[in-house]
């Protein structure tokens, strides 16, 4: 698969359930790579998780499904399939935790050249049987 350097603007929003219903939002401008293989779009980048350490991310999107992988600090694997609850894992200092995610939106948009575009993922996340909340992940990329 041929990949190209890209600037990726990543925005994460989480609306929690329970007593603290406030939205938590983070935005990062990152250098990464994009690639296309068959009908799948791949985004890969590295970021630092505050107070934990560096992590490498790979996000694969294909039609109505996606896969979010994180290696390094707090490893994670979360498959997403539109309208279906999918099992995943999240590793912490306390051990491996089971996750379940139900995707509400999996959308990609790109210009005709494939040099810029965006990915929009919205899903409900449960960890160890407890609701974490609704996550909205936006990735805007531009090849450089």
Average pLDDT across the chain, whole number: 93
Give the per-residue pLDDT at 20: 55
Those residues with Cβ within 8 angstroms of residue 6's Cβ, 6 or more apart along the chain or in another chain: 31, 32, 33, 34, 43, 141, 142, 143, 144
Number of residues assigned to the chain: 144
pLDDT in tens, 6-20: 999 999 999 976 545
Q: What's the mean pLDDT in 33-41?
A: 94
Q: How confident is the model at residue 119 (pLDDT cuts 50, 70, 90)?
A: very high
Q: Please, where are the H alpha helices in the chain?
A: none
On whether the CB atoms of residues 131 and 124 are closer than 8 A, the answer is: yes
Give the per-residue pLDDT at 17: 64
Domain span holding position 30: 3-143
Give the per-residue pLDDT at 113: 87
List the CATH number of the domain containing 117. Answer: 2.40.128.20
Q: What's the mean pLDDT in 98-117?
A: 95
- In three-state secondary structure terms, 111 is coil
CA distance 68 to 49: 16
Number of structural domains (the chain) is 1
Pick 80 or 144 by higher pLDDT: 80
Q: How confident is the model at residue 50 (pLDDT cuts 50, 70, 90)?
A: confident
Token digits for 52? 């934990």
If 0-12 CB within 10 Å is exposed, 13-18 middle and 19+ buried, where does residue 134 land? middle
Token digits for 113? 């050249």
| pTM of structure | 0.92
Give the per-residue pLDDT at 21: 60
What backbone torsions phi and psi does residue 58 show, to the nearest 5 degrees?
Answer: -135, 130
Pick 21 or 139 by higher pLDDT: 139
Is the predicted pLDDT of residue 137 greater than 90, yes or no?
yes
Q: What's the mean pLDDT in 69-76?
A: 96
Q: How confident is the model at residue 95 (pLDDT cuts 50, 70, 90)?
A: very high
């Amino acid at each position: 698969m041929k990949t190209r350097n890209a600037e990726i603007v990543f925005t994460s929003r989480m609306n929690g359930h329970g007593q603290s219903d406030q939205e938590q939002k983070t935005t990062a401008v990152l250098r990464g790579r994009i690639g296309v293989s068959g009908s799948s779009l791949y985004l890969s980048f590295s970021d630092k998780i505050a107070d934990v350490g560096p992590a490498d991310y790979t996000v694969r999107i294909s039609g109505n499904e996606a896969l979010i992988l994180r290696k390094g600090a707090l490893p994670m694997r979360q498959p997403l399939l539109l309208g279906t609850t999918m099992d995943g894992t999240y590793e912490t200092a306390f051990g491996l935790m089971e996750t379940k995610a139900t995707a509400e939106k999996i959308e990609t948009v790109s210009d005709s050249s494939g040099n810029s575009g965006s990915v929009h993922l919205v899903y409900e996340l449960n960890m160890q049987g407890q609701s974490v909340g609704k996550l909205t992940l936006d990735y805007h990329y531009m090849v450089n």
